[in-house]
């Protein structure tokens, strides 16, 4: 089992930007590809956003190597503030929906932004 301390990876107490999430994703996916169980430890993280979580965790659901079942058994979370737990649920559910029908999601977003052409 591999423990990844988020605060140490991103270098601060605020897990808010996608670039930091990408750092976590790169490390995390490296270990998961090797079928290791990984614990993401959020000890000392004072602020957490869905932008960070989408980059760090949400992207995993777009990789055909990782099924939901695989991630449920190989990805563990630790030291999450009670008020942040719902963010993980939301990000994971949205990632599953998005990658299930990426083209449909993108088309809907384009229509919402640009209207019908």
SS3 letters across 37-51: CEEEECCCCCEECHH
Q: How far is CA 17 from the centre of its chain?
A: 12
Give yes or no for a contact between 9 and 45, defined as CB atoms under 8 angstroms apart: no
Tokens of 108: 């809907």
Q: In whole angstroms, what is the distance from residue 61 CA to residue 81 CA?
A: 23
Domain that holds residue 13: 2-114
Go through 50-67 and write b for each residue having 16 or more CB atoms within 10 A of its CB, e for each that does not: ebbbbbbbbbbbeeeebe
The per-residue pLDDT for 65 is 87
Counting the structural domains of the chain, the total is 1
Query: Could you give the 3-state DSSP secondary structure of residue 3?
Result: strand
Q: Which band of pLDDT confidence, cut at 50, 70 and 90, is reported for residue 64? A: confident
Q: In whole angstroms, what is the distance from residue 43 CA to residue 103 CA?
A: 37
pLDDT digits (tens, 9 = 90+) for 71-107: 999 999 999 999 999 999 999 999 998 888 655 544 5
Q: In whole angstroms, what is the distance from residue 116 CA to residue 63 CA?
A: 31
The per-residue pLDDT for 112 is 60
User: In the predicted model, is pLDDT for residue 109 greater than 50?
Assistant: no
User: In the predicted model, is pLDDT for residue 46 greater than 60?
Assistant: yes
Kindly report the pTM of this predicted structure.
Answer: 0.85
pLDDT digits (tens, 9 = 90+) for 11-42: 999 999 999 999 999 999 999 999 999 999 99
């Amino acid at each position: 089992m591999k423990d990844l301390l988020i605060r140490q990876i991103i270098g601060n107490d605020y897990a808010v930007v996608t670039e930091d999430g990408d750092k976590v994703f790169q490390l995390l996916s490296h270990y998961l590809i090797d079928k290791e169980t990984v614990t993401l430890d959020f000890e000392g993280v004072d602020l957490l956003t869905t932008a960070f979580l989408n980059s760090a965790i949400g992207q995993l659901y777009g990789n055909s190597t990782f099924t939901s079942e695989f991630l449920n058994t190989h990805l563990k979370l630790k030291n999450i503030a009670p008020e942040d737990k719902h963010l993980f649920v939301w990000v994971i559910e949205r990632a599953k929906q998005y990658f299930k029908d990426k083209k449909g999601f993108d088309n809907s977003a384009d229509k919402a932004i640009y209207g019908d052409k």
